[in-house]
Structure 1
């Protein structure tokens, strides 16, 4: 029997193909294997929110049918997710875009815009921390 849950990746080794997810409900960490991903393994990194089916495996709980938390469960993460950016990368991209459109912003105004946008991005788990 399996239940669908959400959580954050706490560790993932792309080379070895495995890691662990901390479920949002606070239960024990769940083993994650690359063969159970429904998306490109390059999208899986510490801090990324995922949806998965928690199943009892030979050595404890394991995640299966793993997708990004914002995706439809049956969706292909590759086609829909795009790049996952760090807060620093997003901040740089945002700075360039805002200054290109509103070059008259002061440094203080730009910092306020970035802070607000990064808070929103963190709230909705749009960035990898």
Structure 2
């Protein structure tokens, strides 16, 4: 069975060794230890897969606890129905959060547009020689 060093995984997934150690601290990875005093981490294909799934979950915007919960399900006896229902629940919750954020962003962008329009109007008034316009409310 192939094994991987922390350097190999960090290069493959373009992340720092520190990030991999952090995921280990969070219980997402559990490499074995070799060498003097167990200083060298040895990662199995299972660890590599868990790291890949962790990074995919991060790209989806899931929290580490959500990722751990989902990844751990694949270690338990296979009940794909329960796993898929749990994953759908997490995705639905995440979708709701993102849709609220999108609504908030659209509102902020609308306010920015209104401020930009007002600034342009005031600048045009100054350029047309009308002097300093009164401050807008």
TM-based fold match above 0.5:
no
Bin of the TM-score, shorter chain as denominator length: under 0.3
TM-score, length of structure 1 as denominator length: 0.26
**What TM-score do the two structures reach when normalised by structure 2?**
0.25
More helix by share: 2
Higher relative contact order (CA 8 A, sep 6+): 1
